[in-house]
Amino acid sequence: MTNLKIQAIGVPLDRIDGPKKVTGAATYAAEYHIDGMAYAFPVQSAIARGRITAIETEAARALPGVIAVVTHENAPRLASLSDARHVVLQSDAVAYYGQFVAVVVAETPEVARQAASLVTVRYEEQPHDVTLRFVRDDLIRPEVVNAGYATDTSSGDVETALAEAAVTLDATYTTPTYHNNPMEPHATIAAWDDGGVILYDANQGAQRIRDDVARVFGLPPERVRVISPYVGGAFGSKAFTHPHVVLATLAARVAGRPVKLALTRQQMFAVVGYRTPTIQRIRLGADGKGHLTAIAHHVVEQTAMIYEFAEQTAVATRMMYAAPNHQTSHRLARLDMPVPTIMRAPGEAPGMFALESAMDEMAIVCGLDPIEFRIRNEPATDPETGRPFSSRGVVACLREGAERFGWQPRDPTPGVRTDGEWLVGSGVALSTYPARRRPSSARVRLSPDGRYTVSLCASDMGTGAWTILTQIAADALEVPVERVRLEIGDSALPTAPIAGGSMGTTSWGEAIVVAARRLRATLHEKHGGVIPAEGIEVTGEADANPEAQQFSTHAFGAQFAEARVHRETGEVRVPRLLGVFGVGRVMNAKTARSQLIGGMTMGLSMALHEESVLDPRFGDFANHDFAGYHIATNADVGAVEAYWIDEDDPHLNAMGAKGIGEVGIVGTAAAIANAVYHATGIRVRDLPITLDKLLR
């Protein structure tokens, strides 16, 4: 692929959208005001499975200011019921606790909420099953797992290799339910007009939401417009169309007025997805010199009764380490629970916790330093496909990380290093995430005043897309960034993939480069380099990566952690996290560091704090707010350092970039768990690492 003339790319440019955000001028989904707007508040089911026998709405309707109370008894019929995630208020069936069973529309949000509390719903409750177990006779094999990966893989003879191995490990690791919990709660404003609808919505891809809403309501896609230029975090929870979007659109149609529906934090725990809990069994075999001979990774996770979602938890294991015998599998338990969804680094984040914990355990059994053990099992090519890696900086990341962290000299004996009342340990783990590119398009217009407008339906969730895409456009056009204006976050703009899967920059940026080069060629070939009075506008389309079938493309990294465990209380502190990553050419040094340390901090939360606690009696999460669902605060985070090696991957896109948004969280939890073991001699295989697991 042809490289760009690099000038703006890589510069630590301040966020272009920063001033608007800090001054309040950036408008988020719930902040739009539409004339005549009403407000909706949902009523949620109080059982996990059953049917509604009666809904009493008289008291709610009698409240002054109430416009409508919509239930399955009076809701308009939806045009499509093909996707159960979008079927709202269409029957008396209840499939999970917290399901929408009614919605109140009122003149003010306060009246809507009060009226919703006056709606009485009566149920015929049925027995429910909400508990994930590794052994059960009704596990199902999904056709594929998320992102289209094969459900199971197998090469060689794992069982024989394990039986003949000089050293073996057989261990089970678990991760709990996690909720994405972005800073900005989910919100949708729906306004019908002339047979179409405009949505102001918090999402990761306006065109996906547009297409879903069009299908559900039987509209041509051009009659639905979704606007979302600013998004306050998502972590995967805003990638898909959740029930509240359909409910807001339905409520607006019934009310005959624009309607705003802003979910509370508590409501988000039921209706906008979560990361499935996982139970993972890993078996490793090695010869007497520490070379892996067999890797087996088997995963059990959950999905909903109404819709199948299978996280790709074991996929990273297929390509991380060299071993002649591999086996991976995924099985699902269908439970009476809400539908799971993707969460930052889906698959890799929970899967690599298990794999990298097991690799640490295996290194100890083999009598090898954990870094040396990983290097000894570095594959020359992708173990699953046999393809060469487009670039693989694992060893460089490990070497540089070890030097920066001060890994040597390291006494491998656990529980011997102390600092007063604290036991001190260090741990390491690898990170990885696929480097993808999807078809995208972009429009570039050159105005008579010499300024460029670049337009495409990209999404910035706070990751820096506003800034990075401007830098890419400036270099592709060979002009200063001050002459480039970006338009994103509107489904009416040229087609682009969602912000997810660490493929936004790689996909959008390639389309911008294609359009920019086409415009420059048009300007010089047809106009002799002189801007015509009417300006010039061109559109460029970039296909999926044509080299994807020739190379295995991934981002990599190595993470190091220092853990301190109080010998009396079991309290855990992580004063140091350090990561070194191979992520292709970095587009903006400032936003890249922000993304990497943000991912690492989220990994710290995963290791020590985060856990959605299910009450099996009801199928509800007991800690459904920030008072009970703990995430890392400033007091929990010590020094977090992120670095990257010099890497330019020419096989992905014209910028030489890889996705950077997710690789930072992968491996962090394992590095911390490995450090806790080194500090205490106690191996915690079940996240989070809470003090009760260390008071032995």
Q: Which is nearest to 621 in space by CA: 284, 74, 125, 130?
A: 130
Q: Which is nearest to 661 in space by CA: 542, 499, 508, 552?
A: 499
Q: Which residues contact residue 461 at a Cβ distance below 8 angstroms, ignoring those fewer than 6 apart? A: 182, 204, 231, 232, 233, 234, 238, 499
Q: Report the percent of the chain where pLDDT is more than 70.
A: 100
Q: Which is nearest to 133 in space by CA: 301, 275, 296?
A: 301
Measured in whole angstroms, the distance separating CA 431 from the mean position of its chain's CA atoms is 15
Q: Is 662 a catalytic residue?
A: yes
Instruction: Read off the pLDDT of residues 562-614 as tens digits, 9 standing for 90 and up.
Output: 999 999 999 999 999 999 999 999 999 999 999 999 999 999 999 999 999 99
What is the pLDDT at residue 139? Answer: 98
- How is residue 299 written in tokens? 């995963």
Please provide the DSSP assignment of 435-470 as one string.
-----EEEEEEE-TTS-EEEE-----SSSSHHHHHH
Q: What SS3 string covers 339-355?
A: CCCCCCCCCHHHHHHHH
Could you tell me the fold of the domain covering 144-178+275-435+550-693?
Answer: Aldehyde Oxidoreductase; domain 4 (3.30.365)
- How is residue 391 written in tokens? 């670039």
- How is residue 150 written in tokens? 């094969």
Instruction: Read off the pLDDT of residues 252-295 as tens digits, 9 standing for 90 and up.
Output: 999 999 999 999 999 999 999 999 999 999 999 999 999 999 99
What is the pTM (predicted TM-score) of this model? 0.98
CA-CA distance, 634 to 637, in Å (whole number)? 5
Question: Residue 648's pLDDT band (boundaries 50, 70, 90)?
Answer: confident
CB 429 within 8 A of CB 362: no
| Cis before 688 (ω within 30) | yes
CA-CA distance, 3 to 10, in Å (whole number)? 14
Listed in order, the ranges of the chain carrying CATH 3.30.365.10 are: 18-27+437-542, 32-127+182-234+238-271, 144-178+275-435+550-693
- How is residue 2 written in tokens? 């042809």
- How is residue 590 written in tokens? 């400032």
Instruction: Read off the pLDDT of residues 673-690 as tens digits, 9 standing for 90 and up.
Output: 999 999 999 999 999 999
Give the amino acid at 616. P
CB 54 within 8 A of CB 213: no
Residue 538: Cβ within 10 Å count: 19
What is the pLDDT at residue 491? Answer: 98
User: Helix, strand or coil for residue 585?
Assistant: coil
Which residue in 311, 361, 510, 662 is the catalytic one? Answer: 662
CA-CA distance, 259 to 247, in Å (whole number)? 10
DSSP label of 641: E
Ramachandran angles phi, psi of 657, nearest 5°: -100, 155
CA-CA distance, 575 to 568, in Å (whole number)? 19
CB 525 within 8 A of CB 471: no
CB 659 within 8 A of CB 147: no
What is the pLDDT at residue 452? Answer: 98
Is the four-CA dihedral 205, 606, 375, 639 of positive or negative sign?
Answer: positive
Q: Mutual orientation of helices 348-366 and 589-608 as an angle, nearest 10°?
A: 70
Q: How far apart are the first and last CA of the chain?
A: 57
Residue 255: Cβ within 10 Å count: 22
CB 425 within 8 A of CB 675: yes
CB 335 within 8 A of CB 96: no
**CA angle in degrees (0–180, nearest 5) for 394-398-400:** 115
Instruction: Read off the pLDDT of residues 315-338 as tens digits, 9 standing for 90 and up.
Output: 999 999 999 999 999 999 999 999
What is the pLDDT at residue 691? Answer: 95
What is the pLDDT at residue 696? Answer: 72
Instruction: Read off the pLDDT of residues 27-52 as tens digits, 9 standing for 90 and up.
Output: 999 999 999 999 999 999 999 999 99
What is the pLDDT at residue 1? Answer: 52
CB 262 within 8 A of CB 173: no
Q: Where is 370: in which H helix or E strand?
A: helix 370-376
Question: Residue 513's pLDDT band (boundaries 50, 70, 90)?
Answer: very high
What is the pLDDT at residue 462? Answer: 96
CB 676 within 8 A of CB 572: yes
Q: Which is nearest to 57 in space by CA: 76, 37, 38, 72?
A: 72
Ramachandran angles phi, psi of 490, nearest 5°: -150, 125
In this structure, which CATH number among 3.20.140.10, 3.40.47.10, 3.30.365.10, 3.40.50.2300 belongs to the domain 18-27+437-542? Answer: 3.30.365.10
Most distant CA pair in the chain, distance = 79
Q: Which is nearest to 129 in space by CA: 152, 168, 95, 93?
A: 95
Q: Where is 18: in which H helix or E strand?
A: helix 18-23
**What's the whole-number average pLDDT of the chain?**
97
pLDDT greater than 70 at residue 98? yes
Could you tell me the fold of the domain covering 32-127+182-234+238-271?
Answer: Aldehyde Oxidoreductase; domain 4 (3.30.365)
What is the pLDDT at residue 409? Answer: 86
**464: alpha, beta or left? (left if phi > 0; alpha if psi -120 to 50):** left
CA-CA distance, 443 to 208, in Å (whole number)? 19
CB 500 within 8 A of CB 204: yes
Give the amino acid at 291. H
CA-CA distance, 617 to 143, in Å (whole number)? 31
